[in-house]
Amino acid sequence: MIEVDNLRKSFGDTQVLKGITTTFESGKTNLIIGQSGSGKTVFLKSLLGLHTPDDGTISYSGKPYSEMDIDERVGLRQKIGMVFQGSALFDSMTVEENVMFPLRMFTKMSKSERQDRADMVLKRVNLVNAHKRFPAEISGGMQKRVAIARAIVNRPKYLFCDEPNSGLDPKTAIVIDNLVNEITKEFEITTVINTHDMNSVMEIGEKIVFLRKGLKEWEGSNKEIFKTDNEAVTDFVYSSDLFKKVRQMYIEERN
């Protein structure tokens, strides 16, 4: 679980985060959404420890990050997995070498142990014949699965995903959504996803935090988002005619 209390962050005279309070639960897919400039990227980087808050606290499993000593922060870092927007795979490494990289950096596993662990997670993300291939030799969807495998290879307690569906076709995006959702529940991970993909919101948004101008404008589930009367949320989520029709159908069915 990650608890955020009154989080504030400014850059110069520009206040980006304006007192955000929320909770991200373990075993659930937690989504951060909002328009460009809403503060969601700064929020995600603050959760990762890449930005130091001006005020407020971020607690991991009940312990505020600001109160952790160096050893505790290093230990926390080893419990975090990250899926980057562009996958961020090493071009000069094979698929299995990319996946084993965190194990080489943060564990004392033998080479055979690292190999066994990499085999296990690659199988879990349905990549069984790509071990010796390089990133340039596989599709974008396969690269995302490699990135997910690398993110979970060290058995993280926390998983962060920055636009995991960026650049993917709709069918592949659904596969990635389902995979992240399944892994979250299977390993009881606290997963936080920064996304603009409304299909992700509708499909796997068990907890959604909507940011607007640095404030938490709304939070709830993908079921509750259909019923909200918050105009800023509906304007953002149902900006297309298709989603407006879907919402109207849902409302009519409920009535």
- SS3 breakdown of the chain: % helix, strand, coil, rounded to 5? 45, 25, 35
What's the CATH number where 8 sits?
3.40.50.300
Q: Return the closest-CA partner of residue 215 out of 2, 10, 14, 7.
A: 7
Both tokens assigned to 28: 């659930």
pLDDT at 130 over 90: no
Burial (0-12, 13-18, 19+ Cβ within 10 Å), 50: exposed
Residue 244 lies in a domain: no
Q: Residue type for 64, please?
A: P
Of 12-16, 85-89, 222-226, where does the model show the most confidence?
A: 12-16
Domain boundary among 107, 134, 155: 155
Mean pLDDT confidence for 101-117: 88
User: Over the chain, what is the mean pLDDT?
Assistant: 88
* Average pLDDT over every residue of 41-57: 92
Percent of the chain with pLDDT over 90: 49
- Reported as a single tens digit per residue, the pLDDT across 23-33 is 999 999 999 99
Q: Which two tokens stand for residue 1?
A: 């679980």
Are both 212 and 160 inside the same structural domain? yes
CA dihedral 19, 21, 24, 25 (to 10 degrees): 170
Q: Residue 253 falls within a domain, yes or no? A: no
Residue 207 shares a structural domain with residue 144: no
Do the domain assignments include residue 255? no
CA-CA distance, 86 to 64, in Å (whole number)? 30
pLDDT value of residue 30: 94
Alpha helices (runs of H) in the chain, residue ranges in sequence order = 40-47, 70-77, 95-106, 111-124, 140-152, 170-186, 198-204, 231-237, 241-254
For residue 235, name the pLDDT band (cuts at 50, 70, 90). Answer: confident
CA distances in angstroms from 92 to 8, 81, 95, listed in the order given? 40, 21, 10
Q: By residue range, what is the domain housing residue 174?
A: 1-79+156-225
> In the predicted model, is pLDDT for residue 190 greater than 70?
yes
Contact 80, 105 (CB under 8 A): no
245, part of any domain: no
Q: What is the mean pLDDT of residues 167-178?
A: 86
Confidence tier at 44 by pLDDT (50, 70, 90): very high
Average pLDDT over residues 113-122: 91
- 218: enclosing H helix or E strand: strand 215-220
Same domain? 97 vs 150: yes
What's the pLDDT tens digit per position in 134-164?
A: 999 998 889 999 999 999 998 999 999 998 8
pLDDT at residue number 19: 93
Spell out the SS3 assignment of 56-78.
Answer: EEEEECCEEHHHCCHHHHHHHHC
Q: Are residues 101 and 146 in the same domain?
A: yes
Judge if 198 and 129 occupy the same domain: no
